[in-house]
Amino acid sequence: MNRRGIALFLAVAMTLSLCVVSVLAAGQTEEMPVASETQGIVETADPDTDPVPESPEGSAEVAEPAASGEAQPDPTGTLSFDNLERRLREGNCNLLALDETIASIEALDYDAMYEDLRDALNEIADAQWRLIQFGMSDSYTAGTLKQSYQSLRETFDSLKDGELQQDNADIVLQLRNAQDQIVKAAESLYVALLEMDINRGTLDRSLTALDRSIQEMELRYELGQISALTLDQVKAGRPSLLSSQATLDMNITNYNMQLELMIGADLTGKMVLQPLPEVPQARLDAMDLEADLTAAREASYDLYAAQKTLEDAEEDYKDTAKDYHYDTSKYQLVSAQHTLQAAQHTYNATIQNFEMNFRTLYMQVKDYQQILSASRAALSSQEATYASLQLKYEQGNLSQNALLDAADQVSAAQESVEKAELDLFSAYNSYCWAVEHGILN
C-alpha cells in the first residue's frame, strides 16, 4: 500500500489526539478564531475535490472464454470454470480482506475530514496565541504545538489539494489489481489440474501397455523364445511408472487442496473439476492485435504505476532544480538529471516489455489454433487406421495385442487434442485478462 497515504492517516490520528491534550492544558474555555502571528487562521473554503481518475478500462471488447448464459450452481464436491471467480470472491479470505480494505478507504468522507482538520488547526493556533500572551512562546508546550501544527497542516494541505484523495485512489487501484491477480492465479491452477489429469491418463495407458508386453514376454519366456535377462529388462520399467503415478497423484491432491483452499471449500483434495468451456471460433476471429493492445495498455495497473513513478521522479527533479536555482554547475542538479533520465529509460523499458509480451501472447493463441487443428486431423487419421485394423482383427489377420496397441494410438491422439484444447483455452483466457485487466504474466 502507498506509504504516503498511510502516513497521512497516522498523522491525522496522532495530531488530533495531541491537539485535545494541548488545548486542555492551555486552559482554553471559549472559541477564538484567532491565529498565531506566524501561521494564521485556516480558511473555511471547501477542499479542492476534483474528480480522481478511475481505473483505466480497456476499449476493445474481448469476451471471456466461458459458456454463454448464467452459470448454474456446482454440484457438491465439484467446481466449474464458469463459477470459479464467483466462488473465489465469495469464499477466499484474502479477497474478502481486500474487499474490506477497499471499502474502508472508499467510506472516507473527505469533506468531514477537511472540516475536522480545519477546526483542529484553529484550535492549535488559538492555544499558541494564548501561550504568547502568557509569555510562554519558548516553552516545551509551545514547541510541541508547533510540531503538531506543521504535521497537521501538511495533511490538511494534502487533502485540500486533492493529493490525499489521489493517493487513496491509487491504493484502491493497487488492491483491485491484487484481487485480479488472485483470480488469474486460481484460473491457471484450474487449467494445470486438468492438464495433470490428462498426464495421469497417459501414465495409466503406458502402464497397461507395459503389462501387456510383460504378459507376452512371460509367455515367450516359457516357450523358450527369450532369455530371463530380456524378461527382466521389460519388467524393469514398471516400478518407475508406478513411482511416477504416485508422485503425480500426490501433486494432483496437493493442487486440488490449494484450489479448495482458495474457494473456501473443505480440504479433501478430491474436488472434481468440470471440463473447460470451448472457445468459440468467432471470438478467436474477433481478436484485433492493435486495438486490443491499446485497450491492454489503458487497463494495465503496472503501466499506470510505472507512469506514477516517472512523475514522482520528475517532481523530485523539479524540486532539486528549484533548490539549486537551476545551476547546472551544481553536482546535485547533475545527479538529479541522471536520476530522472534513468527513470525515463525504466519507464520506456516497461512499455516495450509489455508490448512484446502482449504480441507474443497474441501469436501464441494463433499458434495453438493451428496446433489444435493439426491434432484433430491426426486423431481422425488414427481413428481411420484403427477401424481398418479392427476389420483385420475380426478376419483373424491381426492379434489382439496389435489391436490394443492401435487403440492406444487413438487414445494418445485424443489426449493430444485435449492438451491442445487446454493450451488454446489457457492462452486465450490470458489474452482476455491482458485486454480487459492489463494483466500479463
pTM recorded for the entire structure: 0.80
For 22, 41, 113, 118, 125, the CA distances from 25, given in Å and listed in that order, are 5, 21, 24, 20, 14
Return the closest-CA partner of residue 366 out of 441, 292, 258, 277: 292
Q: What is the dihedral angle through the alpha carbons of 340, 344, 345, 348, rounded to the nearest 10 degrees?
A: 170
Query: Do the domain assignments include residue 403?
Result: yes
Residue 292 falls inside a structural domain: yes
What are 57's three cell numbers?
Answer: 478500462
Cα–Cα dist 415/412, whole Å: 5
Joined grid coordinates for residue 85: 471467480
Residue whose cell numbers read 474555555: 29
**Which residue do the cell numbers 480440504 mark?**
267
Question: What's the pLDDT score for residue 69?
Answer: 52
Identify the domain containing residue 426 by its residue range: 278-441
Quick one: pLDDT at residue 72? Answer: 87
Looking at residue 225, what DSSP letter applies? Answer: S
Closest listed residue to residue 39, CA positions, set 135, 116, 151, 162: 151
Provide the number of structural domains found in the chain.
1
Residue 327 lies in a domain: yes
pLDDT of residue 71: 75
Please, are residues 5 and 171 in contact by the beta-carbon 8 Å criterion? Answer: yes
Quote the CA–CA distance of 314 and 295 in Å, as a whole number.
26
Is residue 322 in some structural domain?
yes
161 domain residue, yes or no: no
Give, in degrees to the nearest 5, the angle at Cα 281 between 70 and 415: 90
Q: Is residue 232 part of a domain?
A: no
- C-alpha 68, offset from chain centre: 25
- CA distances in angstroms from 45 to 19, 118, 231, listed in the order given: 22, 10, 94
- Domain membership of residue 17 (yes or no) is no
CATH of the domain at 398: 1.20.1600.10
Angle subtended by helix axes 228-235 and 163-222, to nearest 10: 160
Domain membership flag for residue 164: no
Which pLDDT belongs to residue 348?
Answer: 97
Element (H, E) at 273: strand 272-273
The rounded average pLDDT for each run of 10 residues, N- to C-terminus, in the chain (441 residues) is 41 37 35 36 44 42 50 92 97 96 96 94 92 86 91 92 94 97 97 97 95 94 94 94 96 97 96 96 96 97 96 95 93 95 96 97 98 97 96 94 95 96 97 97 76
Whether the CB-CB separation of 180 and 439 falls below 8 Å is answered with: yes
Residue 136: burial class (beta carbons within 10 Å; 0-12, 13-18, 19+): middle
pLDDT at residue 138, as a whole number: 84
Q: How far apart are CA 22 and CA 142, in angstroms?
A: 9
* Nearest by Cα to 155 from 146, 165, 145: 165
